[in-house]
C-alpha cells in the first residue's frame, strides 16, 4: 500500500515536471507541440541557415515603405511648410469647418499637455511647473503666455515637441507623443493663449526673417535676436535673464572661466559658434551653439552690427 502511494506521488511529480528542484536536464516534455521546433528568435542569431547574413530580424526590403508609413506630408509630419521653414497654418486635417482646430482634438491636447508639458510649463501654462519651481532649472521653461511663445508659428510649437529646443535645453518628446497628439497639444496651447488674450490668432505670423541676406545690416541682426530665441535668454535693457544682457555688450570687459576678455568680433563669433569655449563667470553653460547653417556668416555680421547699436 505504502509503495503504491509513493509510486503514485513519484509518477505525479514526474508528469508535472517536478518544478521544485534544480536540474541541468531539460524538463520532461511529453507533447512537444511547436515548442522546440527550429525557429528564429528576435535578437538571436539565426541558426536555421535560412538567411545568409545570420540575422533573424529582417530589415525592410530596400526602397520599400510599409503600408501607411510613407509620411510624405511634410507639414503634418515635420511641421514644415517648405524645406526648413516652419508652417504657420495648422494642417487642414486637424481643422473643423470654421477653420479652427477641432474641439475634440483640443480637449485631447489639454489632457496630453497635463501629462507631458505641465510638469515644467505649469498646468495653466504659466511656466510654474513643479520641475522648475522645486529645483529651479538652469534655463527656465517659458510661460505659454509669454510674448515669444505667443508669436511662435504653429510649426515651432509642434517643432519644440518634435525636435526639442536649443540643443536639448528642452528635450524632444517625439518618442513619447505621436504626431496627431503633438498637433493636439499645439492646438490646445493656442486655445489657452486665446482664453487669456482674445486678440491671439490661431495661426500667428511669427517673426519674418529675410531668407538669405547677402548684405549684413542692423535690421537683420535685430530680427535674428527675436527670431532665433536670443531674446529668451538675453535682454537688451540691462536686466539679467539666463545669459548676460546685450545692453552695452560691445567693447565690454568680461570675466570668463578662461580669463578676462574684451567683447570684439572674434569673441562674439566664438560665443555664437562655440559657446562653451569661454563661459562668462556666474552664468550657466546653457547657450546653444549655432553653426553656419543655423546662423550664416552674414547674419552673424548683422548681429555684431546690432550689438554696436546697443550701447
Q: Which of 112, 110, 128 is nearest to 120 (CA)?
A: 128
Q: Report in angstroms how near the CB of residue 188 gets to ligand HEC at its nearest.
A: 9
For residues 71 and 294, which CB has a smaller minimum distance to ligand HEC in the complex?
294
For residues 56 and 252, which CB has a smaller minimum distance to ligand HEC in the complex?
252
Give me the residues that bind ligand HEC (CB under 6 A), please: 116-117, 119-121, 131, 137, 139, 141-142, 148-149, 152, 156-157, 160-161, 165-166, 169-170, 173, 177, 185, 224, 228-230, 232-234, 242-244, 249, 254, 263, 268, 271-272, 275, 279-280, 283-288, 290, 295, 303
Q: Report in angstroms how near the CB of residue 102 gets to ligand HEC at its nearest.
A: 18
Q: Report in angstroms how near the CB of residue 68 gets to ligand HEC at its nearest.
A: 24
The answer to whether the CB of 90 falls within 8 A of the CB of 183 is yes
Q: For 49-117, where are the E strands, in sequence order? A: 80-82, 85-86
For residues 46 and 192, which CB has a smaller minimum distance to ligand HEC in the complex?
192
For residues 75 and 185, which CB has a smaller minimum distance to ligand HEC in the complex?
185
Q: Report in angstroms how near the CB of residue 80 gets to ligand HEC at its nearest.
A: 15
For residues 101 and 141, which CB has a smaller minimum distance to ligand HEC in the complex?
141
Spatial separation of the C-alpha atoms in residues 116 and 123, rounded to whole Å: 10
Q: Which residue has the cell 513643479?
A: 130
Cα→Cα distances 95→28, 107, 131, 173, 179, Å: 62, 13, 33, 23, 15
The answer to whether the CB of 279 falls within 8 A of the CB of 286 is no
Q: Report in angstroms how near the CB of residue 34 gets to ligand HEC at its nearest.
A: 44
State the cell numbers at 90. 495648422
Sign of CA dihedral 247, 251, 255, 257: positive
Q: Report in angstroms how near the CB of residue 64 gets to ligand HEC at its nearest.
A: 32
For residues 46 and 234, which CB has a smaller minimum distance to ligand HEC in the complex?
234
Query: Please, what is the Cα angle at 287 between 230 and 289, to 5 degrees?
Result: 95
Spatial separation of the C-alpha atoms in residues 134 and 22, rounded to whole Å: 51
For residues 46 and 150, which CB has a smaller minimum distance to ligand HEC in the complex?
150
For residues 75 and 152, which CB has a smaller minimum distance to ligand HEC in the complex?
152
Q: For the chain, where are the E strands, in sequence order? A: 80-82, 85-86, 253-256, 259-262
Cα 76 to the chain's mean position, in Å?
Answer: 16
Spatial separation of the C-alpha atoms in residues 18 and 22, rounded to whole Å: 9
Q: Report in angstroms how near the CB of residue 73 gets to ligand HEC at its nearest.
A: 21
Report phi then psi at 233, rounded to 5.
-120, -20
Q: Report in angstroms how near the CB of residue 237 gets to ligand HEC at its nearest.
A: 15
Amino acid at each position: 500500500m505504502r509503495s503504491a502511494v509513493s509510486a503514485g506521488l513519484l509518477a505525479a511529480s514526474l508528469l508535472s515536471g517536478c518544478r521544485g528542484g534544480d536540474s541541468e536536464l531539460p524538463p520532461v516534455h511529453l507533447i512537444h507541440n511547436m515548442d522546440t521546433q527550429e525557429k528564429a528568435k528576435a535578437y538571436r542569431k539565426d541558426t536555421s541557415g535560412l538567411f545568409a547574413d545570420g540575422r533573424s530580424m529582417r530589415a525592410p526590403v530596400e526602397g520599400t515603405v510599409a503600408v501607411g508609413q510613407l509620411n510624405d506630408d511634410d507639414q503634418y509630419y515635420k511641421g514644415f511648410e517648405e524645406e526648413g521653414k516652419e508652417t504657420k497654418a495648422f494642417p487642414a486635417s486637424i481643422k473643423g469647418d470654421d477653420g479652427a482646430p477641432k474641439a475634440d482634438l483640443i480637449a485631447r491636447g489639454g489632457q496630453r499637455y497635463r501629462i507631458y508639458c505641465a510638469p515644467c510649463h505649469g498646468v495653466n501654462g504659466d511656466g510654474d511647473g513643479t520641475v522648475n519651481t522645486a529645483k529651479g532649472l538652469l534655463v527656465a521653461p517659458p510661460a505659454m503666455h509669454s510674448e515669444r511663445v505667443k508669436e511662435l508659428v504653429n510649426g515651432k510649437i509642434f517643432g519644440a515637441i518634435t525636435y526639442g529646443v536649443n540643443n536639448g535645453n528642452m528635450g524632444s518628446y517625439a518618442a513619447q507623443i505621436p504626431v496627431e497628439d503633438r498637433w493636439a497639444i499645439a492646438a490646445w496651447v493656442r486655445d489657452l493663449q486665446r482664453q487669456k488674450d482674445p486678440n491671439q490668432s490661431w495661426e500667428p505670423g511669427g517673426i519674418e526673417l529675410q531668407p538669405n541676406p547677402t548684405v549684413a545690416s542692423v535690421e537683420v541682426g535685430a530680427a535674428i535676436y527675436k527670431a532665433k530665441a536670443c531674446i529668451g535668454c538675453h535682454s537688451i535693457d540691462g536686466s539679467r535673464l539666463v545669459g548676460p544682457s546685450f545692453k552695452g555688450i560691445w567693447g565690454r570687459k568680461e570675466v570668463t572661466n578662461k580669463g578676462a576678455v574684451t567683447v570684439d568680433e572674434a569673441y562674439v563669433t566664438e560665443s555664437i559658434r562655440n559657446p562653451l569655449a569661454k563661459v562668462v563667470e556666474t552664468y550657466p553653460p546653457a547657450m546653444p551653439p549655432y553653426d553656419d547653417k543655423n546662423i550664416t556668416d552674414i547674419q552673424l555680421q548683422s548681429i555684431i552690427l546690432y550689438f554696436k547699436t546697443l550701447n
